[in-house]
Amino acid sequence: MVDRSFTDPSLAALYDTLNPWGPGDDFCLGQVMSAGTVLDIGCGTGRLLGRARREGHQGRLMGLDPAAAMLVRARAHEPGVEWVLGDLRSREWHGEFELAVMTGHAFQVLLGDEELRLALAAVRAALAPGGRFVFETRNPGARAWERWTPDRVREIPDGDGGVVRVWHEVESVAAGGERVTFTETFEGARWARPQVDRTTLRFLGADALDRFLRGAGFVVVERYGDWGRGPLTLAAPEIVTVAEPADRHNWAP
């Protein structure tokens, strides 16, 4: 099920303001610009591929997202990209891409083991020989959810001269911190009442991630704890992973 903050046009319009371009986008843009064909899984508003095209990328760029409201904004960013409504199960993949990326912690919405296995198998099928899969997930050791509290309110412009107030509140932490359910609340003049979106994210540590990747035929070739390529430590904020098909490395589980 796609989060309401992505399917509601009034909330989707706030995404780029709430999540401004940052070091993670720079990291992924560098990966995109070095690949001839790119699949952006959960492309959202399309700013990564749109910017790549504007900066001179001449190859095939495809953005895939299950939220129509986000793709409306993506098509406004850059019409010269293939914007596809759906998810990894929407089609068969046949090694079309040199690079697959999942940004914005999209990997964490894959909650079940089987769902995650199917998604990784689809990514593997989409990659050409020598292709790469780049994604990030929040490091559970950093316990980011402990800072998702109602007293931490952000105020952003609503585009009409007003202000939108946004805050988070954790409802439950399950499986020893592996699954976190929380709400994101939007309050502003454009709505008669606050708009509330409920989300569950999965926090997998590096060892668990690697087991799933190995099972799908991947091997990790780069691993970082932040977007500056710092080491992965217990308190590092991210687990940034660059993986390749294992057959390129003569590796077997």
Above 50 in pLDDT, residue 251?
Answer: no
pTM: 0.93
pLDDT in tens, 13-60: 999 999 999 999 999 999 999 999 999 999 999 999 999 999 999 999
How confident is the model over 76-104, as a mean pLDDT? 92
**Burial group, residue 175, by CB count within 10 angstroms (0-12, 13-18, 19+):** exposed
Residue 31 is predicted with a pLDDT of 98
**Dihedral sign, Cα of residue 223, residue 218, residue 181, residue 192:** positive
Of residues 53, 121, 124, 123, the one with CA closest to residue 82: 53
Is-contact 208 139, C-beta < 8 A? no
Greater pLDDT, 120 or 5: 120
| Nearest residue to 195 (alpha-carbon basis) of 2, 1, 6 | 6
What's the whole-number mean pLDDT along residues 224-238? 97
Dist CA 207 CA 234 (whole Å): 12
Quote the tokens at residue 108. Answer: 């964490």
CB of 1 closer than 8 Å to CB of 23: no
Q: What is the DSSP string of 89-110?
A: TSS---S-EEEEEE-TTGGGG-
Long-range contacts of 194-200 (CB under 8 A, 24+ apart): 195/4, 195/8, 195/10, 195/11, 197/3, 197/4, 197/5, 197/11, 198/3, 198/4, 198/171, 199/3, 199/5, 199/109, 200/111
Whether the predicted pLDDT of 101 surpasses 90: yes
pLDDT average, residue stretch 185-209: 95
